[in-house]
Structure 1
Amino acid sequence: MRTVRDTDGARYLLVKRSSDATLVRDPETGAEQYLPNDELTEAEGVSALTVAASGVPESVRRVVTAAHTEDALGLLVELVDRGPLPVRDLLSAYDLCESDLHGLLAEFRAAGLIRERDAAGERGYEATETTREAVAALRG
């Protein structure tokens, strides 16, 4: 599959091309339509899979790519629902060893999904607005 742009710069996924028109899919809606060939140009250097993913809200894409397991996703959900939480509580409440927990927390911080925060007088973490939006979208 290839990526094309229309004269306004909108990106589409090329589905099928005929002599005078091209069937394209809008990555944001999934809707397909025919557009005249002379209104489309190849979008070189743009991955069709990246364009397909662009139809998913950015916050959800960030959570999905950072949370590789259900435990990781669950930790983010808990921080949205219950946070901010002290690290001590995270260690005692969930079946994660210390190194696994700290590894996840480091990945989430690097992805901008959580931030360090004082929680009950201890070092803790809370979900960012990006994470809150993503979890709301996933639940919806």
Structure 2
Amino acid sequence: MKTVQDDTGKRYLLLKRSEHASLVRDPQNGNECYVQNDRLEDLESESALETAAGCVSDPVKTLLTNVHDETTLGLLVELEERGPLGVRTLLDAYDFCESDLHGRLTVLTAAGLLEETEVAGERGYRVTETCGRALEVIRVDEGDEPTATAETSDVS
């Protein structure tokens, strides 16, 4: 499978190529259609899997690519739930050593998921709007079991 782009700049996944037209799939909605070959160009700079990931919203992609364990995810959930927290509070309330917390906060801030703020006159952190939107999308309602369905994965 390859990524192709039509003459309007729209990206597709190439499914099948014939002499005059190609069958392509829109990664955003899954629709398949034929497009004339003279309207398509191959994109070597983007893999088919990167194109397929285009159906995932940017906030969720940022969260998924920067949060690599449940502890870090829990840190973001707690900061969203409890509001901005100072570094001392984070160290006292949660099971982090100072260097581990600093490393996580640095990565999450660089990714745009956290932003530094002042809490009670000291340095603290809060989730960004991007992080809040991503957490809202992935959060499970009470009583619901987390499942990977077309409904939950079709977020824009």
Q: Answer whether TM exceeds 0.5 for this pair.
A: yes
Report the CA distance between 1:136 and its aligned residue. Answer: 1.4
- Matched residue count: 140
Q: 1:10 matched to which residue of 2?
A: 10
Inter-partner Cα distance in structure 2 for 1:57 and 1:51: 12
Structure 2 match to 1:42: 42
Which secondary structure state, in structure 2, belongs to the residue aligned with residue 65 of structure 1? helix
Letter aligned with residue 67 of structure 2: A
Q: How much does 1:30 deviate?
A: 2.5
Matches within 5 A, 1:1-140: 1-139=1-139
Aligned to 2:149: none
Write the distance in 2 (CA, Å) between the matches of 1:80 and 1:12.
36
Alignment TM-score, normalising by the size of structure 2: 0.81
Deviates more, 1:81-90 or 1:27-36: 27-36
- Change beyond 3 A, Cα 1:33–1:93: farther
TM-score of the two chains, using structure 1 as the length reference: 0.89
Q: Distance in 2 between matches of 1:77 and 1:30?
A: 31
The alpha-carbon deviation at position 11 of structure 1 amounts to 0.5
The one-letter code of the counterpart of 1:34 is: Y
Identity %: 55
- In the alignment, structure 2 segments of 5+ residues that lack a partner are 140-151
The ranges of structure 1 where at least 4 consecutive aligned residues each deviate by more than 3 angstroms after the TM superposition are: none
In angstroms, what is the RMSD of aligned CA positions? 1.7
> What whole-Å deviation, never above 9, does each CA across 1:14-60 have from its counterpart, x for those lacking one?
12223333221212223322223232111232222222222211111
Letter in 1 for 2:130: T
27-36 or 83-92: which moved more?
27-36
| Counterpart AA for 1:132 | G
Hey, what does 2:144 align to over in structure 1?
Answer: none
Cα distance between partner residues in 2 of 1:22 and 1:10 = 14
